[in-house]
Amino acid sequence: MDYTRLIMTAVEQPDSGLTYEQSGVNIEAGDELVEHIRSIVARTHSPRVLGPHGAFAGMFRLDFNEKLFKRNYREPVLVSCTDGVGTKLKIATELGIINTVGLDCVAMNVNDLIVQGAEPLFFLDYIGLHEQDPEATARIIEGVALGCEYADCALIGGECAEMPDIYGPGEFDLVGFSVGVVELERAIDPSRVQPGDVLIGLASSGIHSNGYTLVRAIVEAAGLDLNEVHEDAQNRAGESRTLGEVLLEPTRIYARSITHLVRHYKVKKIISMMAHITGGGLPGNLPRVLLEDVDAVIDRDSWTPPPIFDFLARHGKVEPDEMDRVFNMGIGYVLAVRPAFVDSIVKQLTKDGEDAMVIGTIEKGQGRVRWA
C-alpha cells in the first residue's frame, strides 16, 4: 500500500538548506503510518490478495482456482465506481469524530456497485490532508477497513497526500474506488422492469452521506449546538445522542445482504432493477434505472422517516419537496422485484439484518417517480 508516496512535487532545495518537512510534508510520518495500518489493512485480505504491504500497486486474483472461476463466471464483467464522503467531513473534523467516515466512504462506493448485481472485490482509498498525523490518519483508515469487512471486499491500496497549501489545519478529504465482478447474463438490466413489479425499500441508517451542505446551513442558521442532545432528533429508540453524533451516523452498507440475495436466486431473474438512494433522493435516483415507459409509484405512508429529517425540516424551514429532492428520507436502497417473490425476498433481507418493506409498485408511465 503506497501511502508513503505523496503527490506533492519535492521542493527545490535553496542554499539555506530548506527541507521537505519545513515546507510542510513529513515523509517520516508517512512511513510511520504505513507500519501503523499494516495489521488494520491485513484484516480485509483473503488469499486472493497478492504482493507485499507497501507495494506500488495492489494485486488481486479474480479467483485462486482457475477451474473454479471458469465454472462460476463464464463471462465475467468488471464493475467499478468512485465516490467520496463530501462535506459530512466538516462535521466530523469539527467534532473530532473521524473513525466512522471511512465506513461512509466504503458504503457510498459499494452500494453503487451492487446496483449492477456485482460482487465487491476490492477497494482503494485516497486521503488528502493538511498535515500527517499517523495516529489520526490510522483512525480514518481503520474505518475504511471496517467498511471493507462489512462489504466482504479487500482494501488493497491507497494514497495519503500531505498538502498544506490546499487543506487547512485539521482538514482532510476522503475518496474511495471500488471494483467488483458480475456474470454478464446476471447483470441487472433495467429493460426488464415492467408494470406490476413491486418496490421493496431498505431502511437507511440516517442521512447517510448526502445533503450535508444543507444540513450544515440549517445548523448554522438555527444556531444549533452539535454537542447538545435533542430528544426529537434521535434515530433509535432508547438512545440519547448529541446532534453531532446523530448527523455522523455511518451510511449503511447493503453489500453483504444484497450479494447474498443475488446469489440465492441463481437461475430465476426475479430482481428487475436496484437503486442506491443518494443525493437527489427517491425522485432523483429511481429514474436513473427506469426506462421511459414506466413510473415508480411510491406510497409515502409505507414507512416512517427517522426523526432527524423532520428535525432538520422544522429548524431549517425546508419545504417537503426540497427534503425529498435532497435526502433519502429513510430509504437507502430500493429493489424492483417480481410480485410472486416479494414475500420470500423481504423475508431473506430481514434475516440478513435489513429493515425491508414494500414501498410501492411499477406502473405504466414516463420514467418518473410519482407519489401514491
Q: What pLDDT shows up at residue 24? A: 57
Q: Please tell me the distance from the alpha carbon of residue 123 to that of residue 330, in angstroms, as a whole number.
A: 27
Identify the burial level of 58 via C-beta atoms within 10 angstroms of its C-beta, where 0-12 means exposed, 13-18 middle and 19 or more buried: buried
Please check the confidence at residue 9 and state whether its pLDDT lies above 50: no
Residue pair 363/195 in contact by the 8 Å Cβ criterion: yes
Q: Please tell me the distance from the alpha carbon of residue 192 to that of residue 273, in angstroms, as a whole number.
A: 8
Query: What domains can you pick out in the chain, each with its CATH number?
Result: 27-186 (3.30.1330.10), 190-371 (3.90.650.10)
Q: Please tell me the distance from the alpha carbon of residue 256 to that of residue 259, in angstroms, as a whole number.
A: 5
Q: Please tell me the distance from the alpha carbon of residue 233 to that of residue 223, in angstroms, as a whole number.
A: 15
pLDDT confidence tier of residue 240, bands split at 50, 70 and 90: confident
Three-point CA angle 31, 35, 37, nearest 5°:
115
Q: What pLDDT shows up at residue 4? A: 38
Residue pair 132/4 in contact by the 8 Å Cβ criterion: no
Q: What pLDDT shows up at residue 315? A: 97
Please check the confidence at residue 53 and state whether its pLDDT lies above 80: no
- Name the 3-class secondary structure at 271: strand
pLDDT confidence tier of residue 269, bands split at 50, 70 and 90: confident
Please check the confidence at residue 297 and state whether its pLDDT lies above 60: yes
Beta pairing partners, 84: 175
Mean of pLDDT values over 312-319: 97
pLDDT tens, residue by residue, 140-161: 999 999 999 999 999 988 898 9
What is the overall mean pLDDT for the chain? 87
- Name the 3-class secondary structure at 96: coil
Q: What is the pTM of this model?
A: 0.86
Q: What pLDDT shows up at residue 66? A: 62
In 252-274, which positions are buried (b, 16+ CB within 10 angstroms) versus exposed (e)? Answer: bbbbbbbbebbeebeeeebbbbb
- Single-letter residue type at 255: A
Alpha-carbon torsion (238, 242, 243, 248), positive or negative: negative
